[in-house]
């Protein structure tokens, strides 16, 4: 499965790199898109759910990385709910 990294910038100046175990995230986000944080959160959680389904289908167990990222994004939503998020870069690695 391809690993996909998504670089984001939050309007408060914070930058983060998100790691997805699947390229399905590209169905939800494109480079240079901007979202209100709560909209970003909903799309991110949905894309993580789809990624996790792919991992489970292929390997027979869920992806712990998806669970960790879901938790982080949910926590961030409490801190950054008034901010915007820009998708800076999406990079896919195939192995």
State pLDDT tens for residues 20-72: 999 999 999 999 999 999 999 999 999 999 999 999 999 999 999 999 999 99
Domain count, the chain: 1
CA angle 31, 2, 21 (to 5 degrees): 85
pLDDT of residue 1: 67
Full domain range(s) for residue 59: 3-93
Burial 55-80 (b: 16+ CB within 10 A, else e): beeeeeeebebbeebbeebeebbeeb
Range 85-93 average pLDDT: 95
**Cα distances (Å, whole numbers) of residue 6 to 20, 44, 59:** 8, 11, 23
């Amino acid at each position: 499965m391809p690993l996909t990294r998504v670089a984001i910038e939050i309007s408060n100046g914070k930058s983060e790199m998100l790691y997805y175990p699947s390229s399905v995230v590209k169905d939800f986000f494109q480079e240079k898109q901007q979202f209100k944080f709560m909209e970003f959160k909903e799309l991110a959680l949905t894309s993580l759910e789809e990624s996790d389904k792919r991992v489970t289908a292929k390997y027979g167990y869920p992806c712990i990385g998806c669970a960790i990222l879901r938790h982080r994004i949910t926590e961030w939503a409490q801190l950054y709910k008034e901010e915007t998020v820009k998708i800076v870069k999406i990079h896919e690695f195939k192995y």
